[in-house]
Amino acid sequence: MTEKSSTGKTTLTLDVLLTIARMAALEVEGVKRMAIVKGSLNELFKRDNEGIRITVEDNNVFIDLYLILEKDVNIREVSRTVQQAVTRAIAEMTGMDVGHVNIHIEDIEYSNEA
């Protein structure tokens, strides 16, 4: 992910995209936290990018988000809002195109209320 200009080049690591996507998703009301992606290398190495899989092809970013939502939210509405927020954040902050943002709802978190 390198962009060249007449004055030099800018390089983005995958971690930058992961951070942008995570921050944008977690800011959406109704998202409790990111879920751990089962069978991923992140699980083995305890990396802090759980809940996100990103691939980049030809300056297009493809994102899969694995989320745990709060109780009593409209899942469809929260999912669409997350898709819009993540797409906007990636596009505005990096100038890259977003191919898709797939949302995977892994669980709903209910607190133990007495």
Domain limits, the chain: 12-109
Q: Look at the domain 12-109 and name its fold.
A: Alpha-Beta Plaits (3.30.70)
Q: Average pLDDT, stretch 30-51?
A: 69
Render the burial of 11-22: b for 16+ CB within 10 Å, e for the rest. Answer: ebeeeebbebbb
The token duo for 63 is: 């994102």
pLDDT at 59 over 60: yes
The residue type found at 7 is T
Please state which of the ranges 43-47, 73-77, 86-90 shows the lowest mean pLDDT: 43-47
Q: Could you give the percent of the chain with pLDDT greater than 90? A: 68
Burial class (CB in 10 A: 0-12, 13-18, 19+), 66: buried
pTM: 0.83
Contact call for residues 99 and 61 (beta carbons, < 8 A): yes
